[in-house]
């Protein structure tokens, strides 16, 4: 609704309020037709790709950090343990930067596809190729938007918490609602510039600045209203559901010794029979096997050897 209104207003085909009024009327009286419109499905696909990529990268980054911390604990407890060298990507790219770059790439590609299609649908004149200047403007706009929706709220909430009496939860809510909305002060003129390059490719730069000044206040209000539910409330809801599902998984871990329908059951250490080896090798082999399977349950004594001539761990 908002994207269509802004583009029709930029092309001169309709006003923002006239376009939004027509869309609201269709939502009330023909919601099934609205849900099947290309502009609605394009916007839904953009948010699905964006949140899916952000969540995936956040989970992967946290798992890599946890694995690195685990290896450091092993190295501290065992001086003979050799730490594997970190990858080049992990060495020079922080988890926050990795999330920003990957999410921006996903959002940018899907948003530019969406905006190019909508500009051809609701722009002025016949459909034509999208200019490079518009692509460049949308790249800058999407990078700022993703940073405001996923990267900046976390550090900003910590600043709020350190410099105020608010609880940590309230600081997270304030930062998540404030960042995407306030960043539209910067994103709105960039967005209008990209649209104007498509609608009026022949005008001078001063004419584009005059166009942005005339449209800025009204488009800013509309884009703020759009970003508040999209990345403000949407970001809070995304964090809540992820945290809730994670707590449920942590509270109900998969039980041990439950047979999998497609995998053989894992034998316990006392069920494993190791063939005898010359000398003390049998004891050493059982030690290694027991430690590998169950954290070490064989103390190496001869009394624990099986009567059949083998070693039973």
Rounded distance, CA 230 to CA 233, Å? 7
**Is the pLDDT confidence value at 73 over 70?**
yes
**Top-confidence residue, 258 or 114:** 114
Can you read off the two tokens belonging to residue 228?
């508040």
Determine the pLDDT at residue 171.
Answer: 93
β-bridge pairing 311-312 and 273-274: antiparallel
Query: CA separation (Å) from 254 to 66, 218, 249, 260, 292?
Result: 20, 54, 9, 11, 20
- Going by C-alpha positions, the residue among 130, 231, 111, 222 that lies closest to residue 177 is 231
**Top-confidence residue, 313 or 160:** 160
pLDDT tens digit sequence for 132-155: 888 889 889 888 988 898 889 989
pLDDT tens digit sequence for 202-229: 889 999 999 999 989 988 998 998 899 8
**Is the pLDDT confidence value at 311 over 50?**
no
Q: How confident is the model at residue 126 (pLDDT cuts 50, 70, 90)?
A: low
**Top-confidence residue, 74 or 251:** 74
Determine the pLDDT at residue 290.
Answer: 44
**Top-confidence residue, 246 or 303:** 246
84-102 mean pLDDT: 75
Q: How confident is the model at residue 300 (pLDDT cuts 50, 70, 90)?
A: very low
**Is the pLDDT confidence value at 270 over 50?**
no
pTM: 0.63
pLDDT tens digit sequence for 161-173: 999 899 999 999 9
pLDDT tens digit sequence for 14-53: 777 888 888 888 888 888 888 888 888 888 898 899 899 9
Determine the pLDDT at residue 57.
Answer: 86
Mean pLDDT of the chain: 77
Q: How many CB atoms lie within 10 A of CB 132?
A: 9
Determine the pLDDT at residue 296.
Answer: 43
> Long-range CB contacts (< 8 A, 24+ apart) of 56-65?
57/98, 57/99, 57/102, 57/103, 58/95, 58/99, 61/95, 61/98, 61/99, 62/95, 64/90, 64/95, 65/95
Determine the pLDDT at residue 184.
Answer: 94
């Amino acid at each position: 609704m908002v994207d269509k209104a802004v583009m029709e207003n930029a092309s001169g085909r309709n006003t923002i309020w006239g376009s939004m009024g027509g869309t609201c009327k269709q939502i009330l009286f023909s919601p099934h037709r609205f849900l099947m419109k290309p502009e609605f499905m394009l916007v839904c696909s953009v948010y699905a790709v964006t949140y899916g990529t952000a969540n995936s990268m956040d989970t992967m980054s946290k798992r890599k950090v946890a694995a690195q911390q685990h290896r450091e604990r092993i190295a501290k407890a065992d001086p003979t343990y050799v730490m594997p060298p970190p990858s080049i990507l992990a060495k020079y790219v922080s988890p926050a930067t990795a999330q920003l770059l990957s999410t921006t790439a996903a959002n940018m590609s899907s948003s530019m596809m969406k905006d190019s299609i909508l500009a051809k649908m609701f722009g002025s004149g016949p459909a034509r190729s999208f200019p490079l200047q518009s692509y460049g403007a949308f790249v800058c706009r999407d990078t700022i938007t993703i940073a405001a929706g996923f990267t900046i709220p976390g550090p900003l909430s910590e600043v709020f918490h350190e410099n105020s009496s608010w609880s940590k939860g309230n600081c997270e809510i304030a930062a998540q609602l404030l960042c995407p909305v306030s960043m539209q002060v910067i994103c709105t003129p960039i967005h209008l510039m990209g649209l104007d390059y498509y609608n009026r490719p022949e005008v001078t730069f001063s004419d584009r600045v005059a166009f942005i000044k005339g449209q800025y206040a009204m488009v800013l209000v509309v884009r703020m209203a759009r970003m508040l539910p999209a990345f403000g409330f949407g970001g809070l809801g995304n964090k809540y559901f992820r945290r809730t599902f994670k707590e449920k998984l942590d509270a109900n871990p998969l039980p041990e010794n439950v047979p999998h329908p497609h995998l053989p059951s894992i034998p316990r250490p006392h069920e494993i029979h190791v063939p005898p080896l010359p000398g003390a090798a049998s004891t050493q082999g059982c030690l290694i096997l027991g430690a590998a399977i169950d954290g070490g349950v064989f103390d190496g004594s001869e009394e624990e050897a099986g009567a059949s001539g083998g070693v039973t761990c």
